């Protein structure tokens, strides 16, 4: 006898609140660009991930089959979108408030890349050369004890996220088209003035504690 009666997830993904106002990243991102991206695009991934989990819970309650391949591919896409966007908002801050890399973050970046400038150049190249929709992310690998730049296609569909993402840059067109049209390189260049290095460093410190 199948006893599971949960028809809806009790804990749900939620759209995170931003640590700044919708006008506070201008002119890097206009109020319109940031609002649409956060409240429409990111919210859609949150809602879709919850809907898939609800659907799976219902199927279990009814002891019905789940289309494993399609459902799990979609779930990975939606959860990946939610996670990467959450890190993206935390990566950003109002211009002039982000400081410079400090402490362990500075040490690790300089040790691996030779200089902060070299790191920025490689990260920008990863963001600029992502084909179609994707991301540039900085992760920290605990096995090798070093930072690695990765390029994510779409939202890293069906890849197990084995590394904590320290910072992310969204290069889907929806992230910049209102303000930059097709000019992704201009958006990437402007990004460096908005990075909250203290927040990025905090994520690394939490891993190395
Ligand atoms: Mn996005």
Model pLDDT, residue 111: 98
> What region, left, alpha or beta, does residue 136 occupy, with left being phi > 0 and alpha being psi -120 to 50 degrees?
beta
The β-bridge partners of 136 are 151, 169
CB 197 within 8 A of CB 101: yes
Give the number of residues written for the chain: 209
CA of 91 to the centre of ligand 1 (A): 13
| Cα–ligand 1 centroid distance for 88 (angstroms) | 9
Give the domain 29-209 fold. minor pseudopilin epsh fold (3.55.40)
pLDDT in tens, 28-70: 999 999 999 999 999 999 999 999 999 999 999 999 999 999 9
Q: What's residue 9's pLDDT?
A: 65
CA of residue 172 to ligand 1 center, whole Å: 6
Mean pLDDT, residues 7-16: 84
pLDDT in tens, 171-209: 999 999 999 999 999 999 999 999 999 999 999 999 998
CB atoms within 10 A of CB 55: 16
The more confident residue out of 158 and 132 is 132
What b/e sequence results for 63-92 when a residue is b if at least 16 CB atoms lie within 10 Å of its CB, and e otherwise? eeeeeeeeeeebbbbbbbbbbbbbbbbbbb
pLDDT at 104 over 80: yes
User: 5 pLDDT exceeds 60?
Assistant: no
For the segment 12-27, the average pLDDT, to the nearest whole number, is 98
CB 42 within 8 A of CB 15: yes
Average pLDDT, integer, range 72-101:
96
Strand partners for 4: none
Question: Residue 4: is its pLDDT beyond 60?
Answer: no
Q: How far is the CA of 197 from the centre of ligand 1 (A)?
A: 21
């Amino acid at each position: 006898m199948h006893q599971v009666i949960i028809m809806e997830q009790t804990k749900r993904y939620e759209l995170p609140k931003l640590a700044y106002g919708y006008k506070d990243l201008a002119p890097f991102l206009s109020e319109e660009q940031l609002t649409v991206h956060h409240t429409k695009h990111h919210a859609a991934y949150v809602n879709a991930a919850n809907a898939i989990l609800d659907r799976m819970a219902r199927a279990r309650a009814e002891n019905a089959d789940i289309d494993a391949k399609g459902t799990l591919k979609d779930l990975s896409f939606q959860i990946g979108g939610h996670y990467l966007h959450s890190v993206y908002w935390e990566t950003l801050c109002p211009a002039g408030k982000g400081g410079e890399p400090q402490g362990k973050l500075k040490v690790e970046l300089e040790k691996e890349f030779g200089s902060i400038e070299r790191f920025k150049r490689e990260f920008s190249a990863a963001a600029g050369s992502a084909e179609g929709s994707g991301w540039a992310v900085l992760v920290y690998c605990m096995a090798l004890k070093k930072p690695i730049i990765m390029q994510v296609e779409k939202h890293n569909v069906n890849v197990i996220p084995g590394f904590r993402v320290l910072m992310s840059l969204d290069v889907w067109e929806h992230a910049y088209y209102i303000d930059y049209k097709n000019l992704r390189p201009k958006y990437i260049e402007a990004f460096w003035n908005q990075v909250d290095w203290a927040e990025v460093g905090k994520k690394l410190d939490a891993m190395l504690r």
